[in-house]
Structure 1
Amino acid sequence: MLLLAKYLVAVAIGLGIAFLMPQGTLWGLLPLAVIAAMSNSNGSLYVALAGQFGNKTDRGAISILSLNDGPFLTMVALGTAGLADLPLIALLAAVFPIILGFILGNSSRLVRVFLAPGEKLIIPFAAFAIGAGINLSVLFTSGAVGIVLGLMTVLLSGGAAMLFLYAWYTLRKRPRPARNILAGACESAVAGNAIATPAAIAMVDPRFLSIQDAATAQIATAVVVTAFVSPFLVAYVNRWQLRRGISPEYEERYLQGRHSDLPD
């Protein structure tokens, strides 16, 4: 539900801007930046917030949520909508490392432990290389609208994730105290590796080279904004749930089959 909500909202807003807004932008906000940022979640921040406020089910969701890492889903959205000319081999090249890592990580605990630090190690090196090529004037002009992108991601992307979760629980007739939606709030931040998405797409389709710097700056700004704002959203949702008798602990009891332990 979290993965689906993030992606659908990102694509709907991004393509809506591309096809419905004059010149295909909204206040200078680029569809490429919108889809790349809103569909890509900050796994490290998610795990940290879910670890502090959520339960082991919330934390376990990161294995599936990791599928939105990298440029693959953005490529699919742009290519399907006809906004980018992306050959099949390029899509395969983008998703193959994820598939390979998924297979290795789930087939061997030793490999999983060995490779886990790599996700955090590569971010500063990739971010430095990309940041060194960004024109400072772009960061303070078209990049400044990334603040709006960051707030949109927290409110719309995070809001949709929580709404999808609650709708799923309602359809499955889960008891109200176990309808924990904190994971949706934890999923409201933009991943640092999303900063590399415009460069990856421009490498495959040179038509995006002219907006690569602006899209990168917008995403970079959104990453910083969401890193500050998302924890406050999670804390607020946690208090909101507790006031209504909903908690991650009750959800965990329910999933363990301890239905009698739930309050009425």
Structure 2
Amino acid sequence: MKDDSLASLAGKHFILATDLDGTFLGGSDEDRRALYDWIEENRHSIGLIFVTGRDPQFIRGLCDGGVPWPQFVIGDVGTTIAEVTADKNIEPIADLEHEIASLWNDSGEKVRAALDGHPGLTLQPTDFRYRVSYDLDPGAFDRAAIDTVDEMGLDHLISDNRYFDVLPRGVSKGPSLKRFVSYMGVSPQRVLAAGDTLNDLSMIECGLPAVVVGGAEQALIDRVSTLPNVHTADAVGAAGILEAVRAFDLHETP
């Protein structure tokens, strides 16, 4: 049973939908503590969603170590959409994952076989449910892998010039976040999307108020800097999130 006091976003004045590495986890210890304390002190009015390439196991360890627990997780680069229960389990939302599973169509083995030994790609050991992920060596990478993925009816995503993800067609952070916001009946203008690398591109450009935090990948900044819904922060990581909350006047800040 979910903890309605945590899981419901309907009554929240402001909702932060944030990437983790380099964004929510970025910046100085002091900046992170300021952001985390502000969220904990305002749980009645602030909702928190992690939108990340990380998997639920990583998130559990992170939050058990002192990072604020989110109410929901859009993980695995948008291929997991889950709620955090009262006993701190991260449970997929079946209504939202059914389409993702259908689009993936158990393609993991097919992808691994097609890209086995491909130049510049090293398979990551985690067995994700609806994606296959590789470490990328840009100097050795052969872009024929992109054609191979496209021919399978799937999407590829290169981020930070060192990761290569194979995803269900049309599924990534942005589309999953927009579907989630619609499903929850939340006003999009109360949601701030925050990120720092190209795997955040789809959520930064999906039309929600958004921030590219200081220290972000230059390729991401170049792609979104002219969009009217995007604030390009000077402050790094966690401090950049608070900078954007002020810039958009989404909530009172410290």
> TM-score by structure 2 length?
0.31
| Structure whose CA Rg is larger | 1
> TM-score by structure 1 length?
0.30
Larger % of strand: which? 2
Larger % of helix: which? 1
